[in-house]
């Protein structure tokens, strides 16, 4: 029976087929890049549906980005030969969590039309809280608090569960209290942040076993892609939904990991301990305990979100959490040529903490991985631009070309270059259309219409365009709102009936309130796109930009038009706003054929014929900040990032490094990345730089590079790469990382967090 069966099964190898056809019980596919893990998941869904084992709405399928979810749906359609009607539970953790939360919003003291805040809103809100507490924002930046809160939420911790040691690190012990008042404010604003989308699910599931049960029964099959990058909150959420028979929950150590801890390569400050399942979660007597049909796929070598709380241990615990789980390994890589695969495998072999997997290809050796040095980042961008034009002349598609950078600021240089060359490009997961100021303003108007309690949105536009409603007025509204625990908008409505405001401000505030009332009434009778146009015109917002004489005003007006146009794709305003709040990995630009520009983090799961990997320099890649903060564990995560980058390439991988780079406005002389030394000479071809590079070559050429380095002078006498080399010779790929030479000084401002990953906001 092996060879017969539905067409969608016929192309699979035996192991893949086993992973697809083992529908009952837990399955873990643990396999390297390009071995078809995602393809297995998609085929599995097709199989479940065509076997009639579940309806589309009974399958919970978690992808890493919204884009991946769309692609999966598309492939599914191809496999089954017809479009799949409704897969409401196919999406990212955030989008699915958000959907569930809307159904039970009242249990989280929210209304079902709650707003999802982005990072900017979050920071603005925290600033207000800091102000109210008289905490100096310069000393204790709101952004730092946002990061802490985010970290706690990623670990599934409610305010009451934050260990006091950790709460103490902010504003002399006020961290925990601020987290609590932040949560309170969110409820008043009828808003949730990204972390809440899962955290509130977890809380509801725990407090209302009947609701949890509903979902457990609904989801007949659970599938998870990129399982290696789930964080504790996501893990707990999955555990609850999958009725894991033995239940592990995190217990958090009282101490935050200090720098020196991290330097020792300590594990994150969360450990998991065995707890018995909640009595309410045990099957009722007489009811047969069902083993959940859960299938997770992942690759420990591609775990790259440790800095955001991902726990690769989740994958290692799978067999423990699901006794009797079938573990399937896939070894054949279908994506890359021999040289590329060998280079990627050799690089990752320098990591110590890995499960170890075999990867082979039956493909040709193909072209060697190239390494090119250049004088500076501008020359690098020019070189890559030329290379792309050459590829294009050979008749290849721009869609099959990607540039993967370590830090998002590297993108600007390429964007500038592409604009000059007239090369169409798109930025994936980067600064997005919806984040531009004029778009955010327009969205704020729509948000206030949709949810009058959305104070952040109201505050953003109450005086945009200028209406003579200055800080004093806003402050007054705030006081009023806080006293009565009502939204700013309602405070405005009340205040205009009093004589607390000067006549002029009072008049214009009254107009604003009346306008919103009118728009809300109009919402019932006009389409949401028309309404948006009316709002932009009547509010004076369009006019504001029409009168603006600055160079980018025309572009902003274009963007506003595009915004209204983009709304047509949605049924109503609520659906549109929801989409905005969840979609962070939308591809920019309308071009059909374009070069893709993105961070290495955003490239997960994707593949391209041609992959450019610029900026392989110490301090940038590996990122100095990661090394400083996380020591050896950080270095290994950076190396996995390199492995992810290389394994995105089907036919050609091209690495670049520059000898000089401007980082946040300061020129630095840079040293080629230690990862270059870790590539196997046999699979790599080194090209001389026009500007002259200081790097000796791959694998074993380190000594010549060592000599060249002396040219950099005494301030670089013990740079990281040298330590790395010495350490590697001791056989580990270890590095001291956190003790820094002079080199770090200039690159310390580089932020690993600046390369935001795709799911952050999706």
Question: Of 579-638, which residues contact ligand ATP (CB under 6 A)?
Answer: 605, 607
- 11 near ligand ATP, rule: CB under 6 A: yes
* Closest CB 20 distance from ligand ATP, rounded Å: 10
Closer by beta carbon to ligand ATP, 269 or else 302: 302
Specify whether 302 is catalytic: yes
Angle in degrees, 0-180, between the axes of helices 209-218 and 232-241, rounded to the nearest 10: 80
- 566 near Mg ion, rule: CB under 5 A: no
Q: What are phi and psi of 619, to 5 degrees?
A: 95, -35
Size of the site for Mg ion (CB under 5 A): 3
* Closest CB 86 distance from ligand ATP, rounded Å: 24
Q: Which of 759, 714, 719, 699 is nearest to 349 (CA)?
A: 699
Give the interface segment with ligand ATP, choosing from 8-16, 380-388, 447-455, 506-514 (CB under 6 A). Answer: 8-16
In DSSP terms, which residues pair with 370 in a beta bridge?
A: 654, 685
Specify whether 648 is catalytic: yes
* Closest CB 41 distance from ligand ATP, rounded Å: 8
Residues 6+ apart with CB under 8 A from 556: 436, 437, 438, 545, 548
Closer by beta carbon to Mg ion, 229 or else 629: 229
Q: Is 472 exposed, middle or buried (0-12, 13-18, 19+ CB in 10 A)?
A: exposed
CB 332 within 8 A of CB 362: yes
Phi-psi region of 680 (alpha: psi -120 to 50; beta: other; left: phi over 0): beta
**Contact pattern for ligand ATP over residues 636 through 675, marking x by CB under 6 A:** -----------x----------------------------
**Contact pattern for Mg ion over residues 609 through 628, marking x by CB under 5 A:** --------------------
**Contact pattern for ligand ATP over residues 26 through 55, marking x by CB under 6 A:** -------xxxxxxx----------------
Nearest-angstrom CA–CA distance, 434 and 100: 24
* Closest CB 299 distance from ligand ATP, rounded Å: 5
Specify whether 483 is catalytic: no
Q: What are phi and psi of 260, to 5 degrees?
A: -70, -35
Nearest-angstrom CA–CA distance, 605 and 284: 41
* Closest CB 757 distance from ligand ATP, rounded Å: 14
C-alpha torsion sign, points 642, 647, 649, 653: positive
CB 93 within 8 A of CB 62: yes
At which residue do the structure tokens 């709002």 appear?
A: 535
The catalytically annotated residue of 16, 17, 37, 185 is 37
- Binding partner of 299, given ligand ATP, Mg ion, none, CB within 5-8 angstroms per partner class: ligand ATP
- 296 near ligand ATP, rule: CB under 6 A: no
Q: Is 289 exposed, middle or buried (0-12, 13-18, 19+ CB in 10 A)?
A: exposed
Q: Which of 474, 476, 479 is nearest to 464 (CA)?
A: 474
The catalytically annotated residue of 166, 226, 229, 311 is 226
For the chain, what is the radius of gyration of the CA atoms? 27
Applying CB under 5 A, among 175, 430, 452, 605 the residue interacting with Mg ion is 605
- Binding partner of 242, given Mg ion, ligand ATP, none, CB within 5-8 angstroms per partner class: none
Q: What are phi and psi of 684, to 5 degrees?
A: -125, 140
- Binding partner of 39, given ligand ATP, Mg ion, none, CB within 5-8 angstroms per partner class: ligand ATP
In DSSP terms, which residues pair with 297 in a beta bridge?
A: 29
Chain centroid offset of residue 164 CA: 28
Nearest-angstrom CA–CA distance, 228 and 640: 12
The catalytically annotated residue of 35, 38, 647, 722 is 38
* Closest CB 128 distance from ligand ATP, rounded Å: 41
Closer by beta carbon to ligand ATP, 42 or else 539: 42
Applying CB under 5 A, among 16, 35, 38, 756 the residue interacting with Mg ion is 38
Chain centroid offset of residue 541 CA: 32
CA distance to 197, 387, 752, 761, per residue, from 454 (Å): 17, 49, 32, 19
Closer by beta carbon to ligand ATP, 331 or else 538: 331
* Closest CB 605 distance from ligand ATP, rounded Å: 4
Applying CB under 6 A, among 67, 220, 308, 335 the residue interacting with ligand ATP is 335
- Binding partner of 334, given Mg ion, ligand ATP, none, CB within 5-8 angstroms per partner class: ligand ATP
Residues that bind Mg ion (CB under 5 A): 37-38, 605
Residues that bind ligand ATP (CB under 6 A): 11-13, 16, 33-39, 299, 302, 334-335, 605, 607, 647
What residues are annotated to the active site?
37-38, 225-226, 302, 648
């Amino acid at each position: 029976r092996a060879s017969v069966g539905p067409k969608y099964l016929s192309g699979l190898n035996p192991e893949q087929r086993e992973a697809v056809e083992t529908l009952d019980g837990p399955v873990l596919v643990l396999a390297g890049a390009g071995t078809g893990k995602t393809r297995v998941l998609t085929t599995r869904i097709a199989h479940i549906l065509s076997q009639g084992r579940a309806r589309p709405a009974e399958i919970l399928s978690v992808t890493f980005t919204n884009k991946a979810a769309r692609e999966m749906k598309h492939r599914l359609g191809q496999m089954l030969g017809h479009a799949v009607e409704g897969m409401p539970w196919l999406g990212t953790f955030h989008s699915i969590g958000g959907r569930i939360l809307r159904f039970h919003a009242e249990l989280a003291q929210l209304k079902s039309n709650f707003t999802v805040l982005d990072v900017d809103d979050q920071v603005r809100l925290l600033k207000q809280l800091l102000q109210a507490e008289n905490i100096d924002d310069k000393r204790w930046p709101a952004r730092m608090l946002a990061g802490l809160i985010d970290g706690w939420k990623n670990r599934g911790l409610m305010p009451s569960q934050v260990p006091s040691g950790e709460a103490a690190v902010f504003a002399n012990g006020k961290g925990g209290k601020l987290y609590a008042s932040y949560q309170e404010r969110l409820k008043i604003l009828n808003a949730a942040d990204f972390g809440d989308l899962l955290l509130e699910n977890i809380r509801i599931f725990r407090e209302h076993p009947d609701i949890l049960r509903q979902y457990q029964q609904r989801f007949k099959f659970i599938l998870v892609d990129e399982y290696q990058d789930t964080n504790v909150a996501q893990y707990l959420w999955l555990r609850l939904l999958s009725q894991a028979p033995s239940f592990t929950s995190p217990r958090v150590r009282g101490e935050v990991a200090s720098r020196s801890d991290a330097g020792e390569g300590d594990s994150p400050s969360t450990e998991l301990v065995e707890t018995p399942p909640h009595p309410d979660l045990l099957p009722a007597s007489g009811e047969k305990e069902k083993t959940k049909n859960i299938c997770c796929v992942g690759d420990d070598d591609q775990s790259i979100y440790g800095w955001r709380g991902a726990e690769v241990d989740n994958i290692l615990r799978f067999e423990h959490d699901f006794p009797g789980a079938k573990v399937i390994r896939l070894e054949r890589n279908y994506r890359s040529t021999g040289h590329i695969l060998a280079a990627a495998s050799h690089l990752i072999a320098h990591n110590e903490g890995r499960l170890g997997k075999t990867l082979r290809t039956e493909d040709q050796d193909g072209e060697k991985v190239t390494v090119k040095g250049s004088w500076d980042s501008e020359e690098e961008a020019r070189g890559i631009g030329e290379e792309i034009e050459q590829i294009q002349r050979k008749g290849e598609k721009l869609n099959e070309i990607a540039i993967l950078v370590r830090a998002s600021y590297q993108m600007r240089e390429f964007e500038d270059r592409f604009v000059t060359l007239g090369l169409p490009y798109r930025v994936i997961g980067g600064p997005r259309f919806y984040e531009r100021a004029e778009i955010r303003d327009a969205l704020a108007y729509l948000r206030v219409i949709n949810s009058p309690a959305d104070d952040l949105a109201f505050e953003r536009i109450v005086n945009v365009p200028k209406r003579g409603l200055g800080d004093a007025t806003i402050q007054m509204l705030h006081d009023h709102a806080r006293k009565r625990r009502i939204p700013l908008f309602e405070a405005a409505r009340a205040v205009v009936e009093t004589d607390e405001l000067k006549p002029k401000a009072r008049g214009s505030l009254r107009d604003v309130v009346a306008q919103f009332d009118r728009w809300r009434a109009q919402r019932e009778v006009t389409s949401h796109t028309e309404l948006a146009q009316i709002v932009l015109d009547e509010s004076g917002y369009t006019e504001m930009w029409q009168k603006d004489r600055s160079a980018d005003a025309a572009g902003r007006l274009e963007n506003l038009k595009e915004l209204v146009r983009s709304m047509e794709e949605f049924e109503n305003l609520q659906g549109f706003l929801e989409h905005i709040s969840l979609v962070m990995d939308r591809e920019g630009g309308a071009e059909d054929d374009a070069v893709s520009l993105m961070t290495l983090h955003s490239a997960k799961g994707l593949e391209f014929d041609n992959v450019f990997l610029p900026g392989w320099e110490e301090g940038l890649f590996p990122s100095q900040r990661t090394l400083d903060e996380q020591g050896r564990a950080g270095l290994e995560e950076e190396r996995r990032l390199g492995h992810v980058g290389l394994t995105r390439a089907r036919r050609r991988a091209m690495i670049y490094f520059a000898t000089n780079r401007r980082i946040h406005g300061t020129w630095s002389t840079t040293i080629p990345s230690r990862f270059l030394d870790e590539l196997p000479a046999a699979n790599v071809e080194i090209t001389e730089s026009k500007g002259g590079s200081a790097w000796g070559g791959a694998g074993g050429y380190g000594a010549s590079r060592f000599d060249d380095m002396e040219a950099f002078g005494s301030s670089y006498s013990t740079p990281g790469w040298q330590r790395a080399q010495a350490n590697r010779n001791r056989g580990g790929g270890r590095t001291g990382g956190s003790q820094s030479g002079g080199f770090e000084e200039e690159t310390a401002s580089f932020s690993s967090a600046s390369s935001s990953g795709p799911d952050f906001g999706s």
